[in-house]
Amino acid sequence: MSRLATGVKLQAYSFFRRPLNVALLLIIPPLVIEGYAASMQAFPEMPFMETPPTDVGRMSGAVFSAAFLTGIFGLFQVISSLNADRRLVLTGYPRVTLLVTRIATILGFSLVVSGISYAVLATSVDVKAPALAYLFLVLSGIVYGLLGVVIGSAVPRELEGSIILLFVVDADAFFSSGFISLDSFLPKLFPLHYPHSLFESAVVDGTYISNDVLYAVVYILALSVIALIVFTGSMSQGSNVKQRVSGWLG
């Protein structure tokens, strides 16, 4: 337990000791939420929209900022501490404990970012079920945080890792923006689909759809298992991407 607490404190300290990181955490959510709302202002109420466009924009902005901020944090957390983690493993530190530390830090981070996003949203949107809405925001943060851990462990380089994260984020941001029309199962496979729909239900009706909760939980569990495999594997392999890719290819 004390090992876990030390790891979490260390990661939290290394992030929050930089004033710029804290400033970005405070600036990005309002910017994204109000930015989404401003871009929706010009949209007419389309048939597929059941809520005023600006509110749809604000909700999408809240989910996106909570998720994406946590995702990048998860990615950089793993990459920046990879060498230190390998040394800890050599000295007998259990790999799973290290991973749990990373996930616990992501959870803490997601709680903070979601709190900020929620607070910004609640100033302009009437939230029907505040606790549920906050919970689903945290959920979206955890999904992306885990994704960051998976990518950071598989490709431990900042530029390449960020580009891989973009493969998911770019499409996800557009799909879940609420103002494009899609008719495929594909968007449902993206990480923000279910958290976004759960969050929207909690804000608008104060309810949730059990199936969506189930899918979101399955998504998180699947990502956790993948994170476990990739993260523990990364503790014993070379940090070179080429080595890693050749390792995968046998």
Closer residue to other proteins in complex, CB, 9/188: 188
Give the nearest distance from C-beta 206 to other proteins in angstroms. Answer: 27
Closer residue to other proteins in complex, CB, 73/136: 73
Contact 87, 81 (CB under 8 A): no
Give the nearest distance from C-beta 51 to other proteins in angstroms. Answer: 17
Closer residue to other proteins in complex, CB, 72/203: 72
Q: How far apart are CA 161 and CA 75, in angstroms?
A: 7
Q: How far apart are CA 67 and CA 145, in angstroms?
A: 7
Contact 170, 187 (CB under 8 A): no
Binding site for other proteins (CB under 8 A): 15, 18, 20-21, 24, 28, 31-32, 35-36, 38-43, 68-69, 72-73, 76, 155, 157-160, 162-167, 169-171, 173-175, 177, 179-184, 186-187, 241-242, 245
Contact 123, 41 (CB under 8 A): no
Give the nearest distance from C-beta 161 to other proteins in angstroms. Answer: 9
- Tally the residues of the chain: 250
Closer residue to other proteins in complex, CB, 132/169: 169
Summarize the chain as % helix, strand, coil (round to 5). Answer: 80, 0, 20
Q: How far apart are CA 208 and CA 227, in angstroms?
A: 28
Give the nearest distance from C-beta 144 to other proteins in angstroms. Answer: 12
Closer residue to other proteins in complex, CB, 167/229: 167
Closer residue to other proteins in complex, CB, 91/185: 185
Contact 166, 160 (CB under 8 A): no
Give the nearest distance from C-beta 160 to other proteins in angstroms. Answer: 5
Short-list 208, 35, 224, 70, CA closest to 136 = 208
Which residues in the chain belong to E strands, given as ranges?
none
